[in-house]
Amino acid sequence: MEERKSLKEEKVVIPKETLAKYEDKAARRIARRVRIPGFRPGKAPISVVKQKFAKEVREEAILEALNEEVKRIVDERGWKLVSSPRIKAQSDEGDAYEFTVEFEIYPEIHIPDLTQVKVKKRIRQITDAHVEERIQEFKEENATLQPVDREVREGDVVLAEFFIRKDGKEGQRRRARIYVRANELDEDLYNAILGKKAGDEIVLPGEEGEEEVYVIKNVYEVQYPSDEELAELLGYPPDRLREKIREELIEEAQKEAESELEMAIIQELLRLSPFDPPPSLVYEVYKQIRPQIERQVPPEEVEEAAVQNAAFLVARDLLILKLIEDRELDITDEEIIQYLKEEGVQNPESFLKEAKRRGKYDELRNRYLIRKAYDYLKQTVQIEPEFV
Average the pLDDT over 344-367 and give the result: 94
For residue 139, tell me if it sits in a domain.
Answer: no
For residue 83, tell me if it sits in a domain.
Answer: yes
Q: Give the residue from 165, 188, 223 where a domain finishes.
A: 223
Same domain membership, residue 193 and residue 276: no
Widest pairwise Cα distance in the chain: 104
Higher-pLDDT residue of 68 and 26 is 68
Same domain membership, residue 358 and residue 244: yes
- d(CA 361, CA 336) in angstroms, rounded, equals 10
Statement: residue 208 has pLDDT above 70:
yes
- d(CA 79, CA 3) in angstroms, rounded, equals 10
Q: For residue 6, give every residue at least 6 positions away whose Cβ sits within 8 Å of its Cβ, in sequence order, or none.
A: 82, 104, 105, 106, 107, 275, 276, 277, 278, 279
Q: For residue 347, give every residue at least 6 positions away whose Cβ sits within 8 Å of its Cβ, in sequence order, or none.
A: none
Q: For residue 199, give every residue at least 6 positions away whose Cβ sits within 8 Å of its Cβ, in sequence order, or none.
A: 215, 216
Cα 368 to Cα 182, 324, 332, 346, 350: the distances in Å are 48, 12, 10, 17, 17
* CATH number of the structural domain spanning residue 313: 1.10.3120
Domain count for the chain, please give it: 3
Domain that holds residue 161: 144-223
For residue 51, tell me if it sits in a domain.
Answer: yes
Q: What is the pLDDT of residues 243-263, one digit of tens each?
A: 999 999 999 999 999 999 999
Same domain membership, residue 355 and residue 244: yes
For residue 135, tell me if it sits in a domain.
Answer: no
- d(CA 238, CA 236) in angstroms, rounded, equals 6
* CATH number of the structural domain spanning residue 184: 3.10.50.30
Same domain membership, residue 178 and residue 73: no
Q: What is the pLDDT of residues 166-189, one digit of tens each?
A: 888 888 999 999 999 998 899 999
- d(CA 353, CA 176) in angstroms, rounded, equals 52
Q: Which residues sit opposite 157 in a β-bridge?
A: 179, 220
* CATH number of the structural domain spanning residue 84: 3.30.70.1050
Name the H helices within the chain. 19-33, 46-52, 54-77, 128-141, 187-193, 227-234, 241-272, 279-294, 302-326, 333-342, 348-357, 361-380
Q: Give the residue from 174, 194, 223 where a domain finishes.
A: 223
For residue 116, tell me if it sits in a domain.
Answer: no
- Half-sphere CA count of 186, side-chain side, radius 13 A: 7
Same domain membership, residue 157 and residue 99: no
Q: What is the pLDDT of residues 67-80, one digit of tens each?
A: 999 999 999 999 99
Average pLDDT, the chain: 92
